[in-house]
Amino acid sequence: MAQSRLDEWKYSRRRRSRYHHSEHSLSPVGQRCQNSRLEPLECRDLLVQNALFTGDLEMVQKYFTKSAAINLIIENKGDELRWTSRKFGGGSGYCVMGDITGREDKSQEPICTRKADGPAQVYWQALLTGDQGVVAEILSDPQNNLSPNAVFDTSDLEEWKNYRFNFRRLTVNFAPGVKTALHEACAAASTDCVRLLLSFGADPEAVSEDGYKPLHLCKSPDSLECVQQLLQHGASVNSRTEEEDDTALHVAARHGLTDHVQLLLRYGAELEAENKEGQTPLNAGCAQPHQPQDMDRHYRVCQLLVESGASINAADRDRQHPLHLACKNANAQIVELLLARGANVNVMNYSGNTALHNILQATAYKLEHCPELVVQALLNHGAIRVWPGSLLKVLRYCHTCPRVIEALMNSYDHVRVSEEWVEAVPVEVVQKYPRFYQSLFSLEQRPRSLQHLARCTLRTFLEGRLLQVLSQLQLPSALHRFLLLSFEDVLY
């Protein structure tokens, strides 16, 4: 597809070049305008400003003749953006957004293409599809005037589909409102195109409209080689995004990319770098919501970070620790990892919530993640239990996961069950789990079993050191599981 577009463009270019040569060759005045750098003119005409800001090509063509070389600056007072429109004689024109970095050298301003016409259209599509051959052919042809640092603004292609733009071979070190070709290739995980663009001199440190460098857009497992190429060509491993202040390690941890994390750490990524939310990469990895099928790879990322020395008690600006965040996402593997490494099970965040509060609040939304395993782990590591008077409220919120209720109930020797408990559980839920809820409601009339009371006594005696002591006792496996609140789907 991309090759056919390329062939069509080559044919139309030959026709256009003959047409322009015979009928629209530059006059001496036009040539002087093209070859010289005119001093910029200031424009305060609201009609001209409106035409440029709204992209009214017809009005722009009315105000500016084809033979004129335009270097027009619209300058507003205050800190607003400055826009520049330029047109070179004999061409159909293009618009660029002026540099707002305050640099003196304006020759490096980025080109902004709304509709990638001709070679640029083929170029952009080839980048997205990873067609290395087409990209190489276009970049190798000097007549295309396309750079490996070409900038694309593809936000509204449909609106601009009938507009035509010329392209100049300009480098991009700052690109407000656009992405470079390298950004697009990294986002698409087009490894061959990334390698090719870098070999042609693409800037691995170019900044996109959102303040991202190419390294920050490597968010998929397939982009590992892209990361490797960027780092080998001088990309800074600890560069930050402009808005979030994330490093590439934050991005990789957040997306559960174990191989990316390993590679970035080899290149010296900072384990304790904090973003604007105060999150370290471990916090970011624990905080990212994920589907049940992705729980294992997110666990492996956190495991790698912890084994590399990441602080398990690093708190963000809301005093959320990795354990709080892992509980919100109901990832029992990460919770067990953090607890085994000594995470404080009862530390509170700014809202006064402990990790146990967080998992109970998330239970109804994380049923497929098996939240009962998180509750069980927290209780076995000495989590402060819910005040008995609040258990009715917990039942109202967590009744769809009876095993969460079971774990909580089995951590008390006695709980006062009333008629309100029956009313708190919808009939359809009782019908779905009849054995468990009938055993729960029957506790209103009868005490817990002697076996359960013995379990509670031993757990209370070993509070804070339960797991350490049990690991040293040669207990039958069934008794060991019973003491650690194994699930039986019924209360005795």
What whole-number distance in Å separates Cα of residue 327 and Cα of residue 333? 10
Mention every residue, 6+ apart, whose C-beta is less than 8 A from residue 237. 215, 231, 247, 248, 249, 264, 267, 268, 269
The two tokens of residue 173 are 């070190």
CA atoms of 420 and 300, how far apart (whole Å): 43
And the tokens for 285?
A: 């990895």
pLDDT at residue 464, rounded to an integer = 84
Dmax (CA) of the chain: 105
The DSSP symbol for 76 reads: -
Alpha-carbon span 453 to 410, nearest angstrom = 9
C-alpha atoms less than 13 angstroms from C-alpha of 16 in its C-beta half-sphere: 11
pTM of the prediction? Answer: 0.69
Residue-level pLDDT at 17: 43
Residue 184 confidence (pLDDT): 84
The Cα 179–Cα 192 span in angstroms is 18
pLDDT at position 387, please? Answer: 92
Under 8 Å between Cβ of 372 and 459: no
Position 186 scores a pLDDT of 93
**What residues of the chain score a pLDDT lower than 50?**
2, 9, 11-40, 66-71, 75-117, 154-177
Question: What is the end-to-end Cα distance of the chain in Å, rounded?
Answer: 69
Instruction: Give which of 331, 382, 340, 320 is closest to 359, Cα–Cα.
Output: 331
CA 464 from centroid of its chain's CA atoms: 38
Number of other CB atoms surrounding residue 469 within 10 Å: 12
What pLDDT score does 26 carry?
29
The four Cα atoms 330, 334, 339, 345 give a dihedral, to 10 degrees, of -30
Domains observed in the chain: 275-384 (1.25.40.20), 394-492 (no CATH)
- Under a CB-based contact definition with an 8 Å cutoff, are residues 83 and 98 in contact? yes
Predicted pLDDT of residue 193? 84
The tokens for 467 are 């797991």
Exposed e or buried b for every residue in 417-448, given b needs 16+ CB within 10 A? beeebeebbeeebbeebeebbebbbebeeeeb
